[in-house]
Structure 1
């Protein structure tokens, strides 16, 4: 039973907005698909489901969390808040929704990697001062593995973005995956270690 469990792939859900969904990208080019391919190339047995919904806010994510994340999920990449920021939603509202999602996943025994976001410069310093600290604060409070800025190395790089200047193109997704790997690989190892230490139910 234990050997069988160890042989099962680690089941991961990428839960987010258009940055996760793969807005205007071809099949195989979304972040979950490219991350799965990169992890498999590094000998990690994983299955990553894409639960990204373009245009989703933290409120929308909270409302669909339970049915978007199946019970057998072992790890969720939580990436929401960019649309809240673009719509000027109050940062305290975003934070409350993220807290609710984190606590619900914790209750279900599902691990979380938190992907952070930064406010766009045109929203002003005041908004950024309220919005930007949300993610590091939550990561510290809940002891979550944390990738500080999901678009790190991609934002404002025209060659890595679609024509809209906001969403990553396929090369941009490659850059995001490259940055994300050092954060998620140790988490996958912890999932496997926890499996190995779990009692054998029969």
Structure 2
């Protein structure tokens, strides 16, 4: 999980302040889907069409910290894509507590052990580096390594960006925030500039720690990023 090194109230305030700175195949048939009273979309019917595999590689924001497996971002994203007629399987490779260094260590192993090469990689890491105050150069180098490895394997990337809160200092903030923009440009990858932006200033969509989303918060993240995922997914 994302583990703050500062008191909870201070970290919540810092996160809130961030926002201010800040061949041929038959076409897939759209499935029926249900929405729970809390707004979480769940599948209610299987769909046909070409299978698409998406690897969601990240930390607790993907792992679904203190949520049911069906409420995690990868699970809700899969349901939303299928509701759009895309026969997607979104594999959850989120590990709570992972820094970019930890992600780098398991990245190739994860790809090597997949049954098929993913059609898309969604890369979401860096929040724990930020919370632990790790050097920006290390964060950049680790993300660079993973994006270079994905590119070498012919896997397109959608990069989920993070932003540093302003109380870290202007220089650190500018250097950290630039990581995602610069790497997306270097590797011609799609980018969501700030993954948590839809929920960061909405306490009702966050758990008591004010860092991790509720199931409804995850639904808001999926809604905000669904078009980005569809645009990044290459044609079947």
Using the size of structure 1 for normalisation, the TM-score is 0.89
Residue 138 (str. 1) matches residue 180 (str. 2): no
Question: In 2, Cα distance between the equivalents of 1:101 and 1:185?
Answer: 21
Q: Which residues in structure 2 correspond to 1:45-56 (within 5 Å)?
A: 45-56=87-98
Match of 2:171 in 1: 126
Contact persistence 1:158–1:165 (CA under 8 A): yes
Match of 1:109 in 2: 154
Q: Are residues 59 and 191 of structure 1, via their aligned partners in 2, closer, same or farther at CA, if it must alter by over 3 Å?
A: farther
Contact persistence 1:156–1:165 (CA under 8 A): no
Match of 1:11 in 2: 53
**Gapped regions of structure 1 (runs ≥ 5):** 193-202
Match of 2:84 in 1: 42
Question: In 1, Cα distance between the equivalents of 2:226 and 2:69?
Answer: 21
Question: In 2, Cα distance between the equivalents of 1:191 and 1:56?
Answer: 31
Deviation at 1:67, TM superposition (A): 1.7
Paired residues in the alignment total 190
Contact persistence 2:198–2:220 (CA under 8 A): yes
Match of 2:13 in 1: none
Deviation at 1:86, TM superposition (A): 0.4
Contact persistence 1:74–1:191 (CA under 8 A): no
Q: Which runs of 4+ in 1 moved over 4 A?
A: 3-7
**Gapped regions of structure 2 (runs ≥ 5):** 1-22, 28-48
SS at match of 1:48: strand
Question: In 1, Cα distance between the equivalents of 2:96 and 2:26?
Answer: 34
Match of 1:99 in 2: 144
Match of 1:183 in 2: 228
Question: In 1, Cα distance between the equivalents of 2:235 and 2:25?
Answer: 15
